[in-house]
Amino acid sequence: MIDYHLNHLKELEAESIFVIREVAATFQNPVLLFSGGKDSIVLTHLSRRAFWPASIPFPLMHIDTGHNFQETLDYRDALVKKMGVKLIVASVQESIDKGRVREETGYEASRIRLQTTTLLDAIEQYKFDCALGGARRDEEKARAKERFFSHRDEFGQWDPKNQRPELWNLFNGRKHIGEHFRVFPLSNWTELDIWQYIRMENIQMPSLYFSHKRKCFARNGIILGYTDFIKLRPEEKVEEMVVRFRTIGDATSTGATLSSATTVDDIIMEVAASRVTERGGRADDKRSETSMEDRKKEGYF
């Protein structure tokens, strides 16, 4: 008898595509949250597969902190064009200008937390009833209990104590008016799975993920890229380093790692051998042991 079985990447892919199609079939107005990071890139590719030869039946939305690496924006615009999808940009700068949020001050000022307000405002403005995100359960402790279909109340808040049980592949997306869902099709993927899949599918990635020379400086043990948005402390020195990014987000808080990995193969080897979790390099998580959990409760990604 033929042994019918899938390898683990194909099984994860099948699961994610199923979840993405459930979203398109059961919500009226879904949106895919696109950050330019590898997870949202893989999510976009899986969405393309899920509906091929039709195009992706929902728009992409970028919550833009205004603190971007130019490479991220170039990549984003090229991808959107290639896939023929609509892009919505929701700007944190606008939320600041409108007085919806107050910009943090000081050297460590970050717009990470402010994104939540911009995101929730955009969800309300466009009347999205579901936002697809690329979060993975292995990223962070607070995410390990997240459901595929994660219910948010009318304030956009997550209640980790009162989550709906999720059984088999039967997802319950019923909600009251004003509530919405966050759906995470990549829940069961790990960082290594993501890179292996990128290799298997030959997905083109932004240059920031590969080793390059960049002006950087060290802060709290994290290497940050030097950009116009950064205010240096007197003792901080900018140096040219050979680095790559393991995650890509807001330019002021995404840490770089010293690396000579120039290909996806190199990256897979590096990830397989790495000694620090990918979020270990993010300044936004270092603030306290529970910072992710606190942000998630408020309605963060």
Residue 22 or 250 with smaller CB distance to other proteins: 22
Quick one: which segment of 4-12, 36-44, 87-95, 248-256 binds other proteins (CB under 8 A)?
4-12
Closest by CA position to 222, among listed 201, 202, 209, 236: 236
Decide: is 24 part of the binding site for other proteins (CB under 8 A): yes
DSSP string, 53-94: TSPPSS-EEEEE-S---HHHHHHHHHHHHHHT--EEEEEHHH
> Is residue 4 involved in binding other proteins (CB under 8 A)?
yes
Q: In the complex, what is the shortest distance from the CB of residue 232 to other proteins, in angstroms, rounded to a whole number?
A: 26
> Which residues between 36 and 65 bind other proteins (CB under 8 A)?
48-55
Q: Which residues of 34-61 are buried (b: 16+ CB within 10 A; e: fewer)?
A: bbbbbbbbbbbbbbbebeeeeebebbbb
Report helix, strand or coil for 187: coil
- Could you say whether residue 261 binds other proteins (CB under 8 A)? no
Q: How many CA atoms within 13 Å lie on the side-chain side of 16?
A: 30
CB 291 within 8 A of CB 284: yes
Scan residues 176-205 and list those touching other proteins (CB under 8 A).
176, 187-188, 190, 192-193, 196, 199-200
Residue 134, token pair as written in the block: 């690329």
Question: Count residues contacting other proteins (CB under 8 A)?
Answer: 69
Does 154 sit near other proteins (CB under 8 A)?
Answer: no
Could you say whether residue 167 binds other proteins (CB under 8 A)?
yes
Interface segment toward other proteins; rule CB under 8 A; list 28-36, 98-106, 110-118, 137-145: 137-145
**Does residue 165 interact with other proteins by CB under 8 A?**
yes
Among 74, 153, 236, 293, binds other proteins (CB under 8 A): 293
Specify the stretch interacting with other proteins by CB under 8 A; choose among 9-17, 62-70, 117-125, 227-235. Answer: 9-17
Among 99, 105, 106, 168, binds other proteins (CB under 8 A): 168
The answer to the question of residue 234 lying near other proteins (CB under 8 A) is no
Q: Which of residues 88-107 bind other proteins (CB under 8 A)?
A: none
Phi-psi region at 132: left, alpha or beta (left = phi > 0; alpha = psi -120 to 50):
beta
Q: Do residues 208 and 72 touch, judged by C-beta distance below 8 A?
A: yes
Task: Please tell me whether residue 15 binds other proteins under the rule CB under 8 A.
Answer: yes
Q: What is the CA radius of gyration of the chain?
A: 19
Strand-strand pairing, 60-64 and 30-33: parallel
Q: How is residue 215 written in tokens?
A: 């002006």
Q: What is the contact mask toward other proteins in residues 111 to 130, using x (rule: CB under 8 A)? A: --------------------
Residue among 81, 98, 127, 145 that touches other proteins (CB under 8 A): 145
d(CA 217, CA 224): 6
Helix H or strand E segment including 255: strand 255-258
Residues of this chain that interact with other proteins (CB under 8 A) are 3-15, 17-18, 21-22, 24-25, 48-55, 137-138, 141-142, 144-145, 160-161, 163-172, 174-176, 187-188, 190, 192-193, 196, 199-200, 265, 268-269, 272-277, 280, 289-290, 293
